[in-house]
Structures are given as C-alpha cells and as structure tokens.
Chains A and B, each alone.
Chain A
Amino acid sequence: MAEMAANGQEPEVLFWVGCAGSFDDRYKRVTRAFVQILEHVGVKYAVLGTEESCTGEPAKRAGNEFLFQMQAITNIEVLNAYNIKKIVTACPHCFNTIKNEYPDLGGNYEVIHHSTFLQQLINEGKVKIKGGGEFKGKRITYHDSCYLGRANDIYEAPRDVLAALDADLVEMKRSRANGLCCGAGGAQMFKEPEPGRKDINVERTEEALATLGGGNGVIATACPFCMVMMNDGVKNKEQEDNVKVFDIAELIAQAEGLTK
C-alpha cells in the first residue's frame, strides 16, 4: 500500500489480511489463494503489509475495551491516511469489527467479506469454473461462521460460492441462523475451554462428519478460527485422511486451476 501511495495511486479495494492470514501457516495458504484470485481477475488491490495491526477484536470480546480501542484508533489513523474507501477481508472477525465497530471511532469504510466478494466475481462472470472443476460431485458441507452468519446475516454468499463448484452440497442439521459455533469465538481461540463434558469443536465436527456420511468429503469454512477448530476436530476424530477442511477461497482457486 505504501508503494502504491508513493506512486500516487489508489487501490479499488484494500485486502485486510488479518493476523491469522499473516501468521497462521494454514491460513496463509488461504491468503495466497485469495490473492491469486484477485490477480487472476485483475482487481487493483493493495495490502497494508507490515503497517497492518490486529483490529483489536479478540481483546474486545475478551472484555478489554481499552486495548481494543487503542488498536482501533491506531488502525483507523492508518486507513484514513491512505484514504481507504473499500476493504475486503477473509476473516469474519476482522470484517465484523471494521464494519460495525470502527464507525463509532471514526472509521467509515465499505467493508465486505471475501465470501460476498467471491460471490460478486462469480455473478459478474469474472470467475467461471468450467465444468465445476475438480470438486464436481464431491460432498461438501459448509460450516457457518457466527460472525458472518448470526452476527451479520450473511448465509447465502458462501453457499452461492460453493454452488459454483457444482459439488454435492449437504447441509448440517444446525445450519444458517441455527448454526453451531466452532468454539473459538469470543476470544476462546486464545484460551483453554472451561471445564465441560466435551470440546465444542468436537461436537461440531461430529455433526459435520455425520452429515458427510463417511467416505471422502470436504468441510468448507469461511473463517480462520473455524478452520483451526474444524481441523483440530477432524484430527481428534482421526479422519484427516478422508475429510479435508478448506476455505471457500481455496476451493475456488483450486477449481480455477490457480493453485496446485
């Protein structure tokens, strides 16, 4: 972004990578897949690179409003300095925070989640998956992210994206507004669960596996935390050879033949 600004250019959209997209080895692959799609369709985008910092979301959910606002106000200064108007992110937590909580602190942007962004690309015909690509007919179940779904009422965009794969989409019993959390929200990602009978991600993975009905299948996610939790759940159930967890951007990039 700094480079673009130095050349007097403004991006169509700023890609907010997020901490997981920057540091988590698994989610870095999602970041790259999404960037490959952006390059493929020729969107003029930018990233903040090292100027990006945590949105403060986990601090806020953990009750640390002070730290959240510190982060938010600093980030807003950076974004406003670059005159950013539109932001896309692959993280529902970043998405929710920038879209809903930054305006009160002076940050007003058009914020869209990558599921909606991909949905638009598909609708505009910029991403055409010929013949459905390699996921044609494959069993895929989509796990709703709370911060995309209930928090922001985005249920159809990720499903529309998956529909482009011409796969065998199956719904879990608890889906859309009734979707069961993966267990990582509210800063749970960064702590051990409280004592209980079972871990939430195991409960949810069992449901996903039952829905996929044995054999090979894919659990599709649209959130870095969900991805970690579902991956751990699949490992816990020793199903990692049969069931893979993919972000919707990875599925599109693969079906388009952008990655291997």
Chain B
Amino acid sequence: MIGISNIIFLIVAALGIGLFVWQIRKIRKNIQMGRDLTLEDNPSERINKTLLVAFGQQKMFKRMLPAVLHLFVYVGFLVINIEVLEIMIDGIFGTHRILGIMGPFYDALMAINEILGALVIIACVMFLWRRNVTKVPRLATGVEMRAWPKMDANVILVTEIVLMLALFAFNISDLKLAQLKGEELAGAFPISSMFVDAFSSDAGTLATIASTGWWIHIIGILAFMNYLPSSKHFHIIMAFPNVYFSKLAPKGKFTTNPAITHEIKAMLDPSYQPPAPEVDAEGNPIIQRFGAKDVEDLTWKQLMDSYTCTECGRCTSVCPANITGKLLSPRKIVMDTRDRMEEKGEHPAIFDPAQYGKDAGTERVKADTEERTLLRGYITPEELWACTTCNACVESCPVNIDQLSTIMDLRRYLVLEESAAPASLNAMFTNIENNGAPWAFPASDRFNWADELYLPSKN
C-alpha cells in the first residue's frame, strides 16, 4: 500500500539522486578544464585492463592484508547494493521484501549479504585500527596528510559501519516480528538470527527499530553518495573509467609534443610547412604553454587521475626520493592537482573540505604564495627535481594513476618556459648541444673506446 511514508521516501530519494547528478556535472566540468586527448585506441585491451585492475583489484594484491580486507568491503558494497534495490522498490511501492518472491535465491542472497555485512564491519574496524592505532606510516604520515584527508578516511569507515549496523538492526527486528507473529520471513539470516533473542519482544518497539534501521540505511546511503564527490571515496566510481583510459604504451614512453616537432622541422628545413594551428570557437589560434604551469595545462586524463586518487599512499611509500627523505611525494602531486582544480574550477561538494583544512590541523606546505598556480602555489620545483622518473609510483597505483606524467609536464614548463632548470642540468644541456654527449667530452673521442681493444679483425 502506498502511504505518506512512501511519498516522503520518494521525495528523499529524488532529492538525493538529483543532488548527486548536480555534483557529477560539476566534476565533469572540472575535468574538462584539461587539455584534449583522444584515448580510444584498443578498446578490447582497455576493457581487459578494466576487468583485471578495476573489477578484479589485481594491483591491490601486491599487499595481502589490506587487499583481503578491501575485498570484503568491495564485494560487500557490490552485493549489498542488490538489497538497496529492494529497499528502493519497497520504499516506493510500500511493499515488504519484494524480492522475497525469488524464493531460495533470495534466501541465498540475504545469507550472503549478512555474512558480507559482518565482514565489512570487521574490515572497517581493522582499517580504523590501522589508521588511528598502529598508524601505518603511508596512511598516517606525509605533509599531504593534513587534517581533512585523515578525517575523511575516518568518516568513510565509521559511516560504513553505521550503515551495516542499521541493516542488521532492520533484519533482526524484522526477523523477531515475524517470529512473534508466527510467520516465516522470506530470506535466510545467519547473523541476525544469532541476535534475535537479545531484542525486546514488544511488537511496537520492534517495528520502530525495524523502520528506523531501514530509514537510516537508505538515507545513509543517499547521504553517503552525496558525500563521495568531496571525498577520496569517489574512487569507487572513478576507478573504472580511470583504469579504462590508462596508458597502454610501455611506462618508459613519455609523451612527445608535436608542436615542438614542427618547430624543429621548420628550423632544419626552411621549406617545411607546419600544419595550421588549431583554432578555438572564435577562430583564434590556440596557443598552448609548453609543459604545465596550472591545471588547465594538464590533460583531462591527468585531472581525472586526481579525482580517482584514494590517498592510499602506496605511490609515496615506494618512491625512492620520498624513502630517502626528499620533499617529493607522488600522492601530494595528485592531491594538490585536485585541490587546485577545485579552487580554480567549481567546487562540487556541498561542503568545502579546503575550509576544514584551514581551520584544523597542519597548514599546506606552501599555502599562500603570490602565484596561485599549481606550480609554485601548490607544488614546488624542489619536489619536481627530486623525481628519478623510475615509475615506481605508477607501478604501485591500484587504480592506474600516472603521477609521473604530471611531474614531467610541470618540469617541462620549468625548463621550456622559464629556463629554470638547476645549473648542473643546464650544463648538461649545453654539453649535448655542443658535443652530443651529456658530459664535456669532444665528439671526436667517441670511438676511442675501441683503441684499447685488441680484436682479431683489427690485426
């Protein structure tokens, strides 16, 4: 029967979903600030990668314990969402456990849900433990782990526990109500049935608990969904497109700027005709910076990377520069890109995490320099010059973020637009220009290694 509560439910659900769509549109707009890039080659390889790395969590399993715990939460999220579908239908049409018509299949589904729900709670408690008690270094330390990112992680974990507890409260009281009425409740509940006796036998109280649990679970889910865009937890959505669009070429292949190629070819051959520059909507040629100074100089994929980051710190924990105490932290590069993008573009969130960071906890390393661009305003040249381009960060990322490409584009801006390379690197450039080697040896000595070689053919 459809009553007042169904109408309230419909309004709440519509509001929640509408607000989420509104936020997603803002995020889309932010990502579109980035430079154009076509990544549509090899769809089958991309789908394979998405299945393995995103759906299959392949790269998570480089570290066993967090991988298994994360798997509980991930599978729990996927499967329990089937029950959310039921909740939605029940909520709209005033039915009760509508999917119960599936019979034994529903029994199995509910039983699996209950077990997963319990595993989710265990995993989240252990995650909270790792973050706040044992303080696993990659989760608890680092300049970029300011007050907000730490708080964000805890909010997510506590919310997940509350959602699961609400679901259990609903199941247990529902089960008990059915028991009191002498009815058979559709579904099997291996966990809830253990707690049935602990609940009151008053039908009124039970009904209240059941409906409160039900409402907390569904409102909680809608609220959580709207929290995602402000949170690192957004990775649950972004991981999939981000892996799909990730680099297929060998990691050692860095991008080549065709604008520079045209310039050089024109220099070497005066008859060379470079193609006409691209024009914008009004017909003015688009003049792009060499390298990246700010977020709009990065590609949309690099911006998407920053929305995908879940701040797990695996990249930073394997970075040779970071391990040996240099300022560089690949995670910070990605988090800074996101913060700057939201400062420059639109803030998708209903509430502004940057504001939280300002009032509580450590300040950003270089918060208020005059140049509020990604380069210098957020990321210092010292960080960029510490990178050995070893690809350890890229290799370690479970969602295929390419931290290195952003570092390289920022470096290119420093060198190509500002000539701001360290002096010793400028000396290396001069050597290559003058004698075709990074060291100052005359090019004519290049074959001298053979002089000391006593070879039969040289007899």
Contacts and interface: CB of A to CB of B under 8 A. Distances in A.
A172 interface: no
A188 interface: yes
Given A22-B446, A35-B455, A70-B264, A101 B256 contact: yes
Contact of A187 (B253, B324, B425, B444): B425
Interface stretch (B118-126, B156-164, B300-308, B435-443): B435-443
Given A49-B447, A100-B250, A186-B387, A58 B428 contact: yes
Interface stretch (A124-132, A143-151, A236-244): A143-151
Interface stretch (B130-138, B171-179, B346-354, B408-416): B408-416
B437 A23 contact: yes
A159 interface: no
A23 B268 CA distance: 28
Nearest to B449: A28
B411 A196 contact: no
Contacts of B328: 194
Interface in A153-186: 153, 177-178, 180-181, 183-186
Given A65-B260, A186-B389, A197-B325, A177 B449 contact: no
Question: Interface residues of A toward B: which range?
Answer: 35 or more
B275 interface: no
B251 A185 contact: no
A147 B404 CA distance: 14
Contacts of A71: 432, 436
Interface in B23-75: 62
Interface string B390-423: 1110110000000000001001111110000110
B5 interface: no
A152 B252 contact: yes
Interface in B303-318: 318
A64 B416 contact: yes
Given A39-B456, A73-B265, A65 B416 contact: yes
B433 interface: yes
Interface string A190-230: 11111111111001100000000000000000000000000
Given A63-B408, A69-B261, A191 B422 contact: yes
Contacts of B413: 63
B250 A151 contact: yes
Given A53-B437, A200-B324, A105 B256 contact: yes
Interface in B3-25: none
B256 A63 contact: no
A260 B77 CA distance: 64
B166 to A, nearest CB: 41
Contacts of B415: 62-64
Given A52-B446, A180-B320, A23 B252 contact: no
A146 B416 CA distance: 26
B215 interface: no
A13 interface: no
Contacts of B320: 180-181, 183, 200, 203-204
A39 B458 CA distance: 11
Contact of A65 (B290, B387, B433): B290
A28 B432 CA distance: 19
A249 to B, nearest CB: 13
A195 to B, nearest CB: 7
B330 interface: no
A52 B429 CA distance: 17
Nearest to A200: B320
A190 B421 CA distance: 12
Q: Which of A50, A65, A101, A195 has the most CB of B within 10 A?
A: A65
B321 A200 contact: yes
Contact of B416 (A19, A66, A73, A196): A66
Nearest to B455: A39
A193 B326 contact: yes
Nearest to A61: B389
Contacts of B437: 19, 22-23, 53-54
A195 B328 CA distance: 10
B452 A58 contact: no
Contacts of A181: 320, 388, 390, 392
Nearest to B436: A53
Nearest to A58: B438
Given A63-B408, A197-B325, A96 B252 contact: yes
Contacts of A186: 387-390
Contacts of B412: 63-65
A180 B322 CA distance: 12
Interface string A91-110: 00000100111001100000
Contacts of A195: 326-327, 382
B298 to A, nearest CB: 15
Contacts of A64: 412, 415-416, 421, 429
Contact of B449 (A32, A59, A96): A32
Interface of A: 17, 19, 21-24, 28, 31-32, 35-36, 39, 47, 49-50, 52-54, 56, 58-67, 69-71, 73, 96, 99-101, 104-105, 146-147, 150-153, 177-178, 180-181, 183-200, 203-204
Interface of B: 62, 249-254, 256-257, 260-261, 263-265, 268, 290-291, 318, 320-321, 323-328, 382, 385-392, 394-395, 408, 411-416, 421-422, 424-425, 427-429, 432-433, 436-439, 441, 443-450, 452-453, 455-457
22 contacts: A19-B439, A35-B450, A49-B447, A64-B412, A64-B416, A65-B256, A65-B257, A65-B416, A69-B256, A101-B253, A152-B252, A180-B318, A181-B392, A190-B425, A191-B385, A191-B422, A191-B428, A192-B422, A198-B325, A203-B323, A203-B324, A204-B320
Q: Which 3 A-B pairs have the closest CB atoms?
A: A151-B252, A197-B325, A186-B389
Given A62-B411, A66-B264, A104-B256, 10 more contacts: A17-B446, A19-B438, A39-B456, A60-B254, A62-B415, A64-B416, A152-B252, A194-B328, A198-B324, A200-B324
